[in-house]
Amino acid sequence: MKELQTLGWYAGRIQPHLPEKAFKPVPLRLLGGLAYLALSVAGLLVIGLIDLHAWANLLIALVLGSCFASLGFLGHEILHGTVVRKAWLRNFLGAIAFWPLSTGPRLWRKWHNMTHHVHTQDEHDDPDAWATLEQLLKRPIMVKIYRLPLFIRSLFSFAALSITFTLHSTRMFVRFIKEFDEKNRPAVWLQLLLPWAFWIGLLFWMGFDKWLFAYLIPLLIANAIVMGYIATNHRLNPIVPVNDPLANSLSVTVPRWVDFLHFNFSYHTEHHLFPGMSSKYYPLVKKHIKNMWPERYHEMPLGRALISLWKTPRIYFEDKELIDPGNGKVYASLGHGFDPKKVEYRQEEMPQAVSSINSVN
């Protein structure tokens, strides 16, 4: 097993090899956001004002869904301070970018920047980490779900990607709202309610038939695109006691034109190393990581990563493995024997893993 290192340990060794401009904000990234925003407004107006055939509306919905997802990727970048540095402008632009996904900038920074990034893949403190076997056994509903065959669970979990970001964002609001100072809570509430008020108002203006194509279908598409990446960011990696981004994160590869459209969101390990750096420079960071620690770096094509997720359960066993507690099959995680080209498992030697879940009512 390779010794875990901290984020700072890696960053300190790479930073001297990076140009100074890599650590400065890149406002030109907003041009891409402006293009997506213009397309979104145009699509909403066309659906709302013109009576088109359902197939034409569906085509526009596909474009809108892609724009909503890309705006979310840009919003993620903006709220890390890599586009503009002034706090009020950062929050304002971030709110616009996350408007289709109805996630407020204050919540996002609390949940994502200050909690997920600081405690990545910590079984207790990372709000995005999946449960361990011990945690699962304390949740009777989840125990019943994990009695279903893996194929059925994978089918439902992949179908649920189309709503997962919206649901998880709502869950994070409930979790973190009490942690904000009382004087800041009204702003957090407002950032949640204003987007939803807008989209519900759009429903009353358009009627459900048009709203279906103007917002509901695009929202499902945007969720699926965004979660297609997020699902692979850490779910094949182990739970770790040290926030080691080369151990707890996975970068995926996509065609270059997709990286262009999605603001290099595929470079996730690089993002965890330098969250305050514009993703424009992540290919350079990747080059240095692979030169210095090729044996530690995890990357694979996005399609293969998703297939690996389909074939493996999402419950951790002793931190470094994934277990299907209904039948005792145990799968390796990245860095601990996992081969994405041939997903294999072993039967858990200790029957407690199987008997525990089957004994819960």
Answer for the pair 312, 322: CB distance below 8 angstroms, yes or no: yes
DSSP for 22-53, written as a single string? GGS--TTHHHHHHHHHHHHHHHHHHHHHS---
What is the pLDDT at residue 344?
83
What is the pLDDT at residue 54?
95
Q: Is 330 helix (H, G, I), strand (E, B) or coil?
A: strand
What is the pLDDT at residue 145?
87
What is the pLDDT at residue 326?
79
What is the pLDDT at residue 294?
95
- In the chain, how many H helices and how many E strands? 18, 6
What is the pLDDT at residue 352?
60
Answer for the pair 305, 249: CB distance below 8 angstroms, yes or no: no
Provide the 8-state DSSP code for 19. -
Closest CA to 325 of 128, 145, 122, 126: 145
For residue 135, give Cα distances in angstroms to 21, 73, 117, 131, 353: 44, 31, 22, 6, 12
Q: The pTM is what?
A: 0.93
What is the pLDDT at residue 284?
97
Q: What are phi and psi of 129, to 5 degrees?
A: -80, 145
What's the rounded Cα separation, in Å, for the pair 62 and 50? 17
What is the pLDDT at residue 147?
87
**Per-residue model confidence as pLDDT tens digits over 124-134:** 999 999 999 99
What is the pLDDT at residue 354?
60
In the chain, which residues have pLDDT < 70? 1, 348-361
